[in-house]
Amino acid sequence: MHPCLLVTEILLHIIGFVENGTESQSTCRKSDIARLARTCRAFTDPALDVLWRTQCTLGPLVKCLPGHLWTQDSWGAIEIVSKPTIKDWLRLRKYSFRIRVFELCRSSDRPLDVGDVTLCTIFSPDVFHALFPSLHTLNLGFLADRIPLSLLDDVLSPRLAQLRFRLPHYLEPDDLHELLESITNRAPSLRALKIDACAHEQSFVHPSALRFDRMPYLRTLCFPSKLYISPSSLLQPRQMQNLQVLTLTLTADPVPALHHFDPLVFPVLQCMRITTPTLDQLCDILRVTASTQLREISVFYSAPASEAVMHNFFQEVQRAHGRSRGLHILVLHHIYTLDSSILKPFVYSPSTFKPLLACHRLRVLDIRDIGHLAIDDPFIEHAALSWPVIEELRLRGLPWIDSHRTTIGSLRELVRGCSRLARLSMAIDARVLPEEKSAWRSLPLEELNISDSIIGHAEAVERYLRMALPNLKTLIALDDVHFWKAILGMDGTVWNE
Ligand SMILES: *[C@@H]1O[C@H](CO)[C@@H](O)[C@H](O)[C@H]1NC(C)=O
């Protein structure tokens, strides 16, 4: 045997290559690795390690129990039929101690392959902790619709580094708090905590249930949109000093005042995706965020924001862009409701967006439904020079507002100034087409959404655009303005305000 194959690390790498085949070949890869494990004694341990380290189902493990202890029904689901003895469990341990990652999900193409009894048996604290001493990643995507969350509670441990699970449709607030409390208490080494939810109900998390200070290593925190967290539990001093990715929804409570002697807030944050009732809150949070490593700011807000607040927000973004050289994604969506407040939307003049013109490294700028976006050709001309590396640009007010001050001239300027622009969404006034000789071309532009534009001759516009944009794959020009006006009753057809 070649001497390099005697080095376990090298052998693990080589066997790892066999494992990382494409999905369709994965079963044959598994059997290849199993064959390697039987080839010679030197290969056995590394091959078994690779074979077992990541598991998507519990079936293979349960099948290692003696045959009389389990059955398989006609659907393929495996169920334990009599209680395994200590000796039986020890037999499993030979394989199970190699498992580091459980990604137990239930999808239509990969149903969970064991029955409830088996699941509950394996997830009982005694069995679980004895079987899986090396487990550090637990993804229980199926949990909510399958077994009670108390099972999760039983398997938390200080070894866990990554935890992901799904909340049920409805959860008593007390149960939710208990669960969050036990996670922070019993899995303090978590680096990633992701909670998904299909919940329809809103749940407000009491600040006392969220002791982020007990999870000092947390790098990724993703909470579902229906789980509301107060700004004060987020901004406690000395917590989340290692947080890099933050996704959550805030309550309407005020952002606490921080003092200059407080330790840094989010010193290494890279990605911030926050849903908030008001944009003011986000201004306050951005103001205290100390990170110089921000890459993405995504904000989804619900109460209409005045022009002053909007300007303030963009100023904070500009400051963040000044601090963080990597900041290149800005997403701002207004989540509006069909009520009277949007009948008189705020108007945002071009000067509102001026701070954004200083953000030269933006690659994605996605502004949607924020109100009346009164931008015009001169603004776009300026913008085209300010965002030289932009790849995706969406500038959209509320869909039923006619803010057609930009023309095809704006498209031309953007295409000239932004040589990487591939996706553009903007309403324009396309009634007047420029003369043919002022031809311009863009090769990178692949997707153009000019919905809600004013278009005179649709065919002429399309011909013109396709000539200028030879690589265009998608041209969207649905005109929803009339539809929206009807819904909102602005023509007096539905209701009168
Ligand atoms: C095009 O833009 C409109 C207005 O923002 C939006 O409603 C629509 O979903 C977009 N279409 C596509 C396919 O992206």
Where exactly are the structural domains of the chain?
1-52, 54-171
Ligand 1 atom, smallest distance to 474 CA: 13
Q: Give the pair of three-digit tokens for residue 6.
A: 């005697």
- Estimate to the nearest angstrom the gap between the alpha carbon of 230 and the chain centroid: 20
Choosing from 476, 479, 483 the residue with most ligand 1 atoms within 8 A of its CB, the one to mutate for a pocket test is 476
- Judged by DSSP in three states, 189 sits in coil
Kind and range of the H or E run holding 285: helix 279-288
Q: Where are the alpha helices (DSSP H) in 97-124?
A: 116-122
Cα 396 to averaged position of ligand 1 atoms, centre (Å): 9
Q: Does the beta carbon of 399 lie inside 6 Å of ligand 1?
A: yes
Q: What are phi and psi of 80, to 5 degrees?
A: -75, 130
pLDDT in tens, the chain (497 residues): 888 888 888 888 888 887 776 555 555 577 888 888 888 888 888 889 888 999 888 888 999 999 999 998 887 788 999 889 989 988 899 899 999 999 876 665 556 678 888 888 888 888 999 999 999 999 987 665 555 677 888 889 999 999 998 887 777 888 888 888 999 999 999 999 999 876 566 777 777 778 888 999 999 999 988 889 999 888 887 889 999 999 999 999 988 887 665 668 999 999 999 999 999 999 999 999 999 999 999 999 999 999 999 999 999 999 999 999 999 999 999 999 887 777 788 999 999 999 999 999 999 999 999 999 999 999 999 999 999 999 999 999 998 887 678 999 999 999 999 999 999 999 999 888 887 666 788 889 999 999 888 888 888 888 888 888 888 888 888 766 666 665 555 544 433 33
DSSP line for 430-461: ESSPPPGGG----SS--EEE-TT-EESSHHHH
Kindly calculate the radius of gyration of the chain based on its CA atoms and give it in whole angstroms. Answer: 28
Nearest to 307 by CA among 348, 277, 278, 279: 348
Q: What are phi and psi of 490, to 5 degrees?
A: -70, -25
Decide: 250 and 225 in contact? Cβ < 8 Å.
no
Q: Give the pair of three-digit tokens for residue 224.
A: 């579902």
Residue 404, Cβ neighbours under 10 Å: how many? 16
Decide: 465 and 433 in contact? Cβ < 8 Å.
no
Ligand 1 atom, smallest distance to 368 CA: 5
Q: Does the beta carbon of 425 lie inside 6 Å of ligand 1?
A: yes
Cα 451 to averaged position of ligand 1 atoms, centre (Å): 6
Kind and range of the H or E run holding 393: strand 392-395
Decide: 473 and 447 in contact? Cβ < 8 Å.
yes
Nearest to 141 by CA among 103, 179, 109: 103
- Strand ranges (E), 27-147: 54-55, 70-72, 78-80, 101-104, 137-140
Decide: 431 and 458 in contact? Cβ < 8 Å.
no
- For 6, counting Cβ atoms within 10 Å of its Cβ (0-12 exposed, 13-18 middle, 19+ buried), the class is exposed
Cα 449 to averaged position of ligand 1 atoms, centre (Å): 6
The position carrying tokens 């050709």 is 377
Which residues lie closer than 8 Å to 172 by C-beta, 6 or more apart? none
The residue whose CA is least distant from atom 14 of ligand 1 is: 449
The residue whose CA is least distant from atom 3 of ligand 1 is: 451
What residue type is assigned to position 378 of the chain?
A: P
Which residues lie closer than 8 Å to 419 by C-beta, 6 or more apart? 388, 444
Rounded to an integer, what distance in angstroms lies between the CA atom of residue 194 and that of residue 146? 18
